[in-house]
Structure 1
């Protein structure tokens, strides 16, 4: 299984499985389980662990899913505190992996990734730290790669200005959908289109 921002690591899976085993055996000393409140927390905890076993989630995401399942919010918060205390919920790690994976594999810009993390309830300070992985050079290099890839889909040089503008809009659209800024997107799209037309044997002049 490939590890992605949506998938737990082997280490995390081992932790999760051990936690579930301890739960089934009623491990007295395991910090995940408070036996005084076990009766009301057990179902919430088991469901939370199953959700985390599916893929990595932020605390906010996990809370939302459990609320939708109609568990009591105070019990949910207690369970999430338990999971966070043993490292099974870690928004810093989650945000860092989310940015790294989705920038590299999906070509998302820092701006787009910031919006995604906002929707996942990640705090501004944690978002800022995670996004430090992407600098301006990274942004431009990724945008250029995407522009060139889209330009390769052009099989014939534009016959006139209208066709050229249509091709340019398509390249810009790919970058815009990934959150790259308009000015850079337009400049790179023009360069990529010109390069493609030169490969096809015609100039943009």
Structure 2
């Protein structure tokens, strides 16, 4: 008689008893909490007694349900400084955290360096912006000061260079005037002297030219004659972008005069039969 272990595979697949046994075994493994090799290693963690889904890494496309679970648990999205706006200290944001930042026993200087380097890879930042980010993450002030001083010595923090880049970018691409840019620099911790040197690149002639470009671009979409309401909207746009009243009025008046002349040229002449 052949040994039972030598039975054909087809007989085992066709055996109803064998199928029920395999299903029962699988159910037992699931009920016992055992996970098969190669299963997804992601697991929920505990946060104040509540179950929290894992934080998203860069490029992570989680379903909407996962994001809702994360918001309910108290771990919020990134704030203005690139880190979590609220939630427990050390909670991971969308951009992720370094190993040193997740370790509660890590050296404060190492944590501060890790945070600053991660924020500086996104864009240049002022010393005040980095100091605020470190304070929000609970880094001691003395450790933050040591790291920021060292970053300044090696040129990773340079408020003057930051101000120059900020002025050129905001004036060229966003069309902001000197006054609006100066307010932004002050909010970012750039002192008035450094901001004034950077803003010297945008003189009155440059402001007038940029204001006129903004008005002309708006008028290109305007059909027919321009009434007083359109003129008020153009003046309001320039005021919100930080242009002085005199510059705004000249730009709008000259642009409207040219626009009216172009419309008059397009009208048919009354002498034609």
1:156-201 per-position Cα deviation (integer Å, ceiling 9, x unaligned): 114xxxxx11010111122111100112212211221222232233
The equivalent residue for 1:31 is none
1 or 2 for the larger relative contact order (CA 8 Å, sep ≥6)? 1
Alignment check: 8 A CA contact 1:58 1:89 kept:
yes
How many residue pairs match? The answer is 162
Report the TM-score, using the length of structure 2 for normalisation. Answer: 0.56
> What SS class does the counterpart of residue 109 from structure 2 fall into?
helix
Distance in 1, Cα, partners of 2:168 & 2:247: 22
Alignment check: 8 A CA contact 2:108 2:140 kept:
no
Please say if 1:92 is aligned against 2:92.
no
Query: Cα distance, 1:39 vs. partner?
Result: 2.5
Moved more, 148-157 or 56-65: 148-157
The equivalent residue for 2:253 is 190
Please say if 1:67 is aligned against 2:135.
yes
Please say if 1:168 is aligned against 2:231.
yes
Distance in 2, Cα, partners of 1:93 & 1:144: 28
**Root mean square deviation of aligned Cα:** 1.9
The equivalent residue for 2:43 is none
Please say if 1:123 is aligned against 2:191.
yes
> Larger % of helix: which?
1
> What SS class does the counterpart of residue 264 from structure 2 fall into?
coil
The equivalent residue for 1:3 is none
Distance in 1, Cα, partners of 2:231 & 2:197: 35
Distance in 2, Cα, partners of 1:153 & 1:183: 24
1:30-45 correspondence runs (5 A) = 39-45=107-113
Please say if 1:152 is aligned against 2:215.
no
> What SS class does the counterpart of residue 239 from structure 2 fall into?
helix
Query: Cα distance, 1:90 vs. partner?
Result: 0.4
> What SS class does the counterpart of residue 157 from structure 2 fall into?
coil
The equivalent residue for 1:199 is 262
Return the match for 2:150 from 82, 86, 90. 82
Query: Cα distance, 1:152 vs. partner?
Result: 1.6
Greater C-alpha radius of gyration: 2
Alignment check: 8 A CA contact 2:108 2:139 kept:
no
Q: Any stretches of 5+ residues in structure 2 without a counterpart?
A: 1-98, 100-105, 266-273
